[in-house]
Structure 1
Protein backbone atom coordinates (compact mmCIF):
# COMPACT_ATOMS: atom_id res chain seq x y z
CA UNK A 1 0.00 0.00 0.00
CA UNK A 2 2.72 2.50 0.99
CA UNK A 3 4.83 1.54 -1.99
CA UNK A 4 1.96 2.28 -4.44
CA UNK A 5 1.37 5.70 -2.85
CA UNK A 6 5.10 6.42 -3.04
CA UNK A 7 5.16 5.50 -6.75
CA UNK A 8 2.10 7.65 -7.37
CA UNK A 9 3.73 10.76 -5.81
CA UNK A 10 7.01 10.01 -7.55
CA UNK A 11 5.15 9.88 -10.89
CA UNK A 12 3.40 13.19 -10.16
CA UNK A 13 6.69 14.84 -9.14
CA UNK A 14 8.41 13.56 -12.29
CA UNK A 15 5.59 14.94 -14.43
CA UNK A 16 5.93 18.43 -12.94
CA UNK A 17 9.72 18.42 -13.09
CA UNK A 18 9.60 17.60 -16.81
CA UNK A 19 7.32 20.55 -17.54
CA UNK A 20 9.47 23.39 -18.82
CA UNK A 21 8.81 27.07 -18.46
CA UNK A 22 10.17 29.47 -21.04
CA UNK A 23 10.80 33.14 -20.54
CA UNK A 24 10.98 35.65 -23.40
CA UNK A 25 13.57 38.42 -23.38
CA UNK A 26 14.40 41.01 -26.05
CA UNK A 27 18.12 41.06 -26.93
CA UNK A 28 18.31 43.78 -29.55
CA UNK A 29 16.25 45.81 -32.01
CA UNK A 30 17.84 47.14 -35.20
CA UNK A 31 16.12 49.39 -37.73
CA UNK A 32 17.77 50.37 -41.02
CA UNK A 33 16.45 52.62 -43.77
CA UNK A 34 17.91 51.94 -47.22
CA UNK A 35 16.47 55.09 -48.78
CA UNK A 36 16.51 58.11 -46.46
CA UNK A 37 14.49 60.16 -48.98
CA UNK A 38 11.70 57.56 -48.74
CA UNK A 39 11.67 56.78 -45.02
CA UNK A 40 13.75 57.13 -41.88
CA UNK A 41 13.48 55.88 -38.33
CA UNK A 42 12.69 58.57 -35.79
CA UNK A 43 13.42 56.06 -33.03
CA UNK A 44 14.09 52.36 -32.63
CA UNK A 45 14.90 51.13 -29.13
CA UNK A 46 14.35 48.67 -26.29
CA UNK A 47 13.56 50.02 -22.85
CA UNK A 48 13.60 48.37 -19.44
CA UNK A 49 11.27 50.07 -16.95
CA UNK A 50 11.89 47.56 -14.16
CA UNK A 51 12.66 43.87 -13.78
CA UNK A 52 9.28 42.76 -15.08
CA UNK A 53 8.25 45.43 -17.60
CA UNK A 54 10.37 45.78 -20.72
CA UNK A 55 9.29 46.88 -24.17
CA UNK A 56 10.42 47.82 -27.66
CA UNK A 57 9.32 50.80 -29.75
CA UNK A 58 10.01 52.09 -33.25
CA UNK A 59 8.67 54.80 -35.51
CA UNK A 60 9.26 55.02 -39.26
CA UNK A 61 8.72 58.44 -40.83
CA UNK A 62 7.38 58.11 -44.38
CA UNK A 63 8.19 60.90 -46.83
CA UNK A 64 6.58 59.61 -50.05
CA UNK A 65 2.98 58.86 -49.21
CA UNK A 66 0.58 57.31 -49.94
CA UNK A 67 1.92 53.76 -50.04
CA UNK A 68 -0.35 51.64 -52.22
CA UNK A 69 1.93 48.68 -52.90
CA UNK A 70 3.83 47.02 -50.06
CA UNK A 71 5.56 43.66 -49.70
CA UNK A 72 7.15 42.19 -46.58
CA UNK A 73 9.69 39.40 -46.17
CA UNK A 74 9.82 37.80 -42.73
CA UNK A 75 12.39 35.20 -41.72
CA UNK A 76 12.50 33.60 -38.30
CA UNK A 77 15.98 32.26 -37.60
CA UNK A 78 17.52 30.46 -34.66
CA UNK A 79 21.07 31.16 -33.58
CA UNK A 80 23.02 27.92 -33.91
CA UNK A 81 26.61 28.79 -34.82
CA UNK A 82 25.22 31.74 -36.77
CA UNK A 83 21.59 32.41 -37.61
CA UNK A 84 19.97 29.46 -39.38
CA UNK A 85 16.42 29.23 -40.79
CA UNK A 86 14.10 27.97 -38.08
CA UNK A 87 10.42 28.04 -38.88
CA UNK A 88 9.29 30.70 -41.33
CA UNK A 89 10.81 32.49 -44.28
CA UNK A 90 7.91 34.03 -46.15
CA UNK A 91 7.19 36.94 -48.46
CA UNK A 92 3.72 38.36 -48.80
CA UNK A 93 1.85 41.33 -50.19
CA UNK A 94 0.99 43.39 -47.10
CA UNK A 95 -1.85 45.26 -48.78
CA UNK A 96 -3.56 42.02 -49.88
CA UNK A 97 -3.03 40.44 -46.45
CA UNK A 98 -4.64 43.39 -44.65
CA UNK A 99 -7.72 43.06 -46.88
CA UNK A 100 -8.26 39.45 -45.79
CA UNK A 101 -6.23 38.60 -42.67
CA UNK A 102 -7.73 35.16 -42.07
CA UNK A 103 -6.73 33.82 -45.49
CA UNK A 104 -3.25 32.68 -44.38
CA UNK A 105 -2.70 31.52 -40.79
CA UNK A 106 1.11 31.80 -40.98
CA UNK A 107 0.93 35.48 -41.95
CA UNK A 108 -1.75 36.02 -39.32
CA UNK A 109 0.48 34.55 -36.60
CA UNK A 110 3.46 36.68 -37.68
CA UNK A 111 1.27 39.80 -37.79
CA UNK A 112 -0.17 38.95 -34.36
CA UNK A 113 3.34 39.14 -32.87
CA UNK A 114 3.34 42.95 -33.19
CA UNK A 115 -0.04 43.96 -34.66
CA UNK A 116 -1.84 44.94 -31.43
CA UNK A 117 0.91 47.48 -30.66
CA UNK A 118 1.12 48.96 -34.15
CA UNK A 119 -0.85 51.34 -36.35
CA UNK A 120 -0.53 48.92 -39.29
CA UNK A 121 -4.11 47.83 -38.78
CA UNK A 122 -5.86 48.87 -41.99
CA UNK A 123 -5.63 48.28 -45.71
CA UNK A 124 -3.60 50.35 -48.14
CA UNK A 125 -3.06 53.20 -48.79
CA UNK A 126 -0.79 54.16 -45.89
CA UNK A 127 -0.48 57.93 -45.73
CA UNK A 128 0.95 58.26 -42.24
CA UNK A 129 4.04 57.30 -40.26
CA UNK A 130 4.31 53.68 -39.10
CA UNK A 131 4.98 52.77 -35.50
CA UNK A 132 5.12 49.88 -33.06
CA UNK A 133 4.70 51.42 -29.64
CA UNK A 134 5.55 49.85 -26.25
CA UNK A 135 5.66 46.27 -27.53
CA UNK A 136 5.96 44.39 -24.21
CA UNK A 137 7.94 41.28 -23.38
CA UNK A 138 5.02 39.72 -21.49
CA UNK A 139 2.93 39.75 -24.70
CA UNK A 140 5.71 38.12 -26.72
CA UNK A 141 6.27 35.63 -23.90
CA UNK A 142 2.62 34.56 -24.19
CA UNK A 143 2.72 34.35 -28.01
CA UNK A 144 5.94 32.29 -28.16
CA UNK A 145 5.40 30.01 -25.17
CA UNK A 146 1.62 29.47 -25.01
CA UNK A 147 0.10 30.23 -28.42
CA UNK A 148 2.88 28.57 -30.43
CA UNK A 149 5.51 27.08 -28.08
CA UNK A 150 9.09 27.55 -29.27
CA UNK A 151 12.13 25.63 -28.03
CA UNK A 152 14.61 27.44 -25.82
CA UNK A 153 17.34 29.38 -27.60
CA UNK A 154 18.35 32.62 -29.27
CA UNK A 155 16.33 33.85 -32.24
CA UNK A 156 16.25 36.60 -34.83
CA UNK A 157 13.12 37.86 -36.53
CA UNK A 158 14.38 39.52 -39.73
CA UNK A 159 11.97 41.66 -41.72
CA UNK A 160 12.49 43.51 -45.00
CA UNK A 161 9.94 46.08 -46.14
CA UNK A 162 9.44 46.81 -49.84
CA UNK A 163 7.41 49.43 -51.64
CA UNK A 164 6.99 49.53 -55.42
CA UNK A 165 9.39 46.57 -55.65
CA UNK A 166 12.26 48.44 -53.95
CA UNK A 167 13.70 47.40 -50.59
CA UNK A 168 13.08 50.41 -48.35
CA UNK A 169 13.83 49.28 -44.79
CA UNK A 170 14.65 46.38 -42.53
CA UNK A 171 13.71 45.77 -38.92
CA UNK A 172 15.47 42.98 -37.04
CA UNK A 173 14.31 41.79 -33.64
CA UNK A 174 16.65 39.61 -31.60
CA UNK A 175 15.30 37.68 -28.62
CA UNK A 176 16.00 34.83 -26.28
CA UNK A 177 13.76 32.13 -24.85
CA UNK A 178 15.32 30.72 -21.73
Structure 2
Protein backbone atom coordinates (compact mmCIF):
# COMPACT_ATOMS: atom_id res chain seq x y z
CA UNK A 1 0.00 0.00 0.00
CA UNK A 2 2.81 2.43 0.91
CA UNK A 3 4.61 1.52 -2.34
CA UNK A 4 1.51 2.43 -4.42
CA UNK A 5 1.10 5.70 -2.55
CA UNK A 6 4.76 6.64 -3.10
CA UNK A 7 4.49 5.73 -6.80
CA UNK A 8 1.37 7.87 -7.14
CA UNK A 9 3.10 10.83 -5.47
CA UNK A 10 6.11 10.49 -7.81
CA UNK A 11 3.84 10.39 -10.89
CA UNK A 12 1.89 13.46 -9.73
CA UNK A 13 5.14 15.38 -9.10
CA UNK A 14 6.54 14.43 -12.54
CA UNK A 15 3.32 15.43 -14.30
CA UNK A 16 3.36 18.73 -12.44
CA UNK A 17 6.91 19.45 -13.67
CA UNK A 18 6.06 18.75 -17.33
CA UNK A 19 4.82 21.88 -19.06
CA UNK A 20 4.89 23.66 -22.41
CA UNK A 21 7.20 26.57 -23.13
CA UNK A 22 6.95 29.23 -25.83
CA UNK A 23 10.19 30.77 -27.11
CA UNK A 24 10.85 33.59 -29.58
CA UNK A 25 13.12 32.38 -32.38
CA UNK A 26 13.23 35.36 -34.75
CA UNK A 27 11.57 38.64 -35.65
CA UNK A 28 11.51 40.41 -39.01
CA UNK A 29 10.23 43.95 -39.37
CA UNK A 30 9.86 45.37 -42.88
CA UNK A 31 8.92 48.91 -43.90
CA UNK A 32 6.93 48.85 -47.14
CA UNK A 33 6.42 52.61 -47.56
CA UNK A 34 9.54 54.54 -46.53
CA UNK A 35 7.73 57.87 -47.08
CA UNK A 36 5.11 56.93 -44.48
CA UNK A 37 7.57 55.62 -41.89
CA UNK A 38 10.21 53.04 -41.13
CA UNK A 39 11.52 50.85 -38.35
CA UNK A 40 14.14 52.59 -36.25
CA UNK A 41 14.82 49.26 -34.52
CA UNK A 42 13.24 45.83 -34.19
CA UNK A 43 15.09 43.05 -32.39
CA UNK A 44 15.05 40.15 -29.97
CA UNK A 45 17.49 40.33 -27.08
CA UNK A 46 18.63 37.46 -24.87
CA UNK A 47 19.79 38.80 -21.52
CA UNK A 48 20.52 35.32 -20.22
CA UNK A 49 19.23 31.77 -20.70
CA UNK A 50 15.89 32.53 -19.09
CA UNK A 51 15.18 36.18 -19.98
CA UNK A 52 14.55 37.17 -23.59
CA UNK A 53 12.52 40.12 -24.86
CA UNK A 54 11.34 41.83 -28.05
CA UNK A 55 11.60 45.57 -28.71
CA UNK A 56 10.68 47.65 -31.73
CA UNK A 57 10.03 51.21 -32.82
CA UNK A 58 8.26 52.33 -35.99
CA UNK A 59 9.04 55.96 -36.73
CA UNK A 60 6.11 57.77 -38.39
CA UNK A 61 6.91 60.44 -40.97
CA UNK A 62 3.31 61.26 -41.90
CA UNK A 63 1.37 62.32 -38.83
CA UNK A 64 -1.38 62.13 -37.70
CA UNK A 65 -2.56 58.62 -38.57
CA UNK A 66 -6.35 58.79 -38.66
CA UNK A 67 -7.05 55.35 -40.12
CA UNK A 68 -5.20 52.15 -39.22
CA UNK A 69 -5.89 48.60 -40.30
CA UNK A 70 -4.06 45.45 -39.19
CA UNK A 71 -4.21 41.95 -40.66
CA UNK A 72 -3.14 39.26 -38.16
CA UNK A 73 -2.32 35.79 -39.40
CA UNK A 74 -1.27 32.92 -37.16
CA UNK A 75 0.62 30.27 -39.11
CA UNK A 76 2.08 26.92 -38.16
CA UNK A 77 5.05 25.28 -39.81
CA UNK A 78 3.98 22.20 -41.77
CA UNK A 79 6.16 21.91 -44.92
CA UNK A 80 6.39 25.70 -44.89
CA UNK A 81 4.22 28.06 -42.89
CA UNK A 82 0.51 27.37 -43.41
CA UNK A 83 -2.51 29.29 -42.04
CA UNK A 84 -3.49 28.04 -38.59
CA UNK A 85 -6.68 29.10 -36.77
CA UNK A 86 -6.64 32.86 -37.30
CA UNK A 87 -6.36 35.24 -40.24
CA UNK A 88 -8.32 38.38 -39.44
CA UNK A 89 -8.26 42.00 -40.52
CA UNK A 90 -9.22 44.65 -37.98
CA UNK A 91 -9.83 48.36 -38.17
CA UNK A 92 -7.53 49.25 -35.27
CA UNK A 93 -9.16 52.63 -34.63
CA UNK A 94 -12.60 51.08 -34.14
CA UNK A 95 -11.18 48.13 -32.20
CA UNK A 96 -9.46 50.38 -29.67
CA UNK A 97 -12.75 52.20 -29.04
CA UNK A 98 -14.48 48.85 -28.33
CA UNK A 99 -11.93 46.04 -27.64
CA UNK A 100 -14.68 43.52 -26.87
CA UNK A 101 -15.79 43.67 -30.52
CA UNK A 102 -13.18 41.05 -31.52
CA UNK A 103 -12.16 38.49 -28.86
CA UNK A 104 -9.35 37.01 -30.98
CA UNK A 105 -7.83 40.44 -31.64
CA UNK A 106 -8.24 41.27 -27.95
CA UNK A 107 -6.24 38.15 -27.00
CA UNK A 108 -3.29 39.21 -29.20
CA UNK A 109 -3.62 42.90 -28.26
CA UNK A 110 -3.68 42.06 -24.53
CA UNK A 111 -0.46 40.12 -25.11
CA UNK A 112 1.38 43.37 -25.90
CA UNK A 113 -0.80 46.04 -24.23
CA UNK A 114 1.35 46.80 -21.18
CA UNK A 115 4.52 46.99 -23.30
CA UNK A 116 3.35 49.35 -26.07
CA UNK A 117 2.25 52.95 -26.47
CA UNK A 118 -0.63 51.93 -28.78
CA UNK A 119 -3.15 52.09 -25.95
CA UNK A 120 -5.58 54.64 -27.39
CA UNK A 121 -7.69 55.12 -30.48
CA UNK A 122 -6.85 57.22 -33.53
CA UNK A 123 -5.43 59.68 -34.35
CA UNK A 124 -1.80 58.76 -33.65
CA UNK A 125 0.61 61.70 -33.44
CA UNK A 126 3.54 59.65 -32.20
CA UNK A 127 5.78 56.75 -33.18
CA UNK A 128 4.68 53.17 -32.46
CA UNK A 129 6.82 51.60 -29.73
CA UNK A 130 6.96 48.08 -28.30
CA UNK A 131 9.35 48.12 -25.35
CA UNK A 132 10.85 44.94 -23.91
CA UNK A 133 7.99 42.46 -24.33
CA UNK A 134 9.31 39.53 -22.21
CA UNK A 135 9.02 35.96 -23.38
CA UNK A 136 7.67 34.88 -19.98
CA UNK A 137 4.59 37.05 -20.46
CA UNK A 138 3.94 35.68 -23.96
CA UNK A 139 4.69 32.16 -22.74
CA UNK A 140 1.99 32.48 -20.06
CA UNK A 141 -0.58 33.67 -22.62
CA UNK A 142 0.19 30.89 -25.14
CA UNK A 143 0.38 28.02 -22.64
CA UNK A 144 -1.96 28.90 -19.77
CA UNK A 145 -4.53 31.48 -20.95
CA UNK A 146 -5.18 29.94 -24.39
CA UNK A 147 -3.13 26.76 -24.84
CA UNK A 148 -1.84 26.02 -28.33
CA UNK A 149 -0.47 22.69 -29.61
CA UNK A 150 3.30 22.22 -29.84
CA UNK A 151 5.04 23.37 -33.01
CA UNK A 152 6.75 26.21 -34.80
CA UNK A 153 4.62 29.32 -35.28
CA UNK A 154 4.66 32.56 -37.21
CA UNK A 155 2.55 35.52 -36.16
CA UNK A 156 2.38 37.94 -39.07
CA UNK A 157 0.94 41.44 -38.78
CA UNK A 158 0.41 43.52 -41.93
CA UNK A 159 -0.21 47.20 -41.18
CA UNK A 160 -1.96 49.59 -43.58
CA UNK A 161 -3.64 52.97 -43.66
CA UNK A 162 -6.36 53.96 -46.13
CA UNK A 163 -5.75 50.72 -48.07
CA UNK A 164 -2.03 51.38 -48.45
CA UNK A 165 0.26 48.86 -46.69
CA UNK A 166 3.20 50.37 -44.83
CA UNK A 167 4.72 47.66 -42.61
CA UNK A 168 4.95 43.91 -42.02
CA UNK A 169 6.03 42.34 -38.74
CA UNK A 170 6.81 38.61 -38.58
CA UNK A 171 7.37 37.05 -35.17
CA UNK A 172 8.61 33.45 -35.18
CA UNK A 173 8.34 31.20 -32.15
CA UNK A 174 8.44 27.62 -30.97
CA UNK A 175 6.07 25.98 -28.54
CA UNK A 176 7.56 22.82 -27.07
Same fold (TM over 0.5): yes
Which range is displaced more, 19-28 or 77-86? 19-28
Residues 143-173 of structure 1, C-alpha deviations (whole Å, 9 max, x = no match): 1011111111110000100101111100010
The Cα offsets for residues 32-91 of structure 1, whole Å up to 9 and x where unpaired, read as 011101010000101011111110100000011111111100001111111111121100
**Aligned equivalents of 1:127, 1:70: Cα separation in 2:** 13
TM-score scaled by structure 2? 0.93
> Which stretch has the larger CA shift, 87-96 or 14-23?
14-23
Tell me, which stretches of 5 or more residues in structure 2 are unaligned? none
Partner of residue 68, structure 2: 70
CA positional deviation for 1:25: 1.1
| Structure 1 counterpart of 2:166 | 168
User: Aligned pair 1:157/2:155, yes or no?
Assistant: yes
Question: Structure 1 residues 8 and 143, CA, compared in 2 at 3 Å: closer, same or farther?
Answer: same
User: Which blocks of at least 5 consecutive residues in structure 1 are unaligned?
Assistant: none
Stretch of structure 1 that moved more, 117-126 or 47-56: 47-56
Aligned CA RMSD, in angstroms, stands at 1.5
1:123 aligns with 121
Q: In the alignment, what sits opposite 2:134?
A: 136
Cα distance in 2, alignment partners of residues 59 and 46 from structure 1 = 12
Partner in structure 1 of residue 30 of structure 2: 32
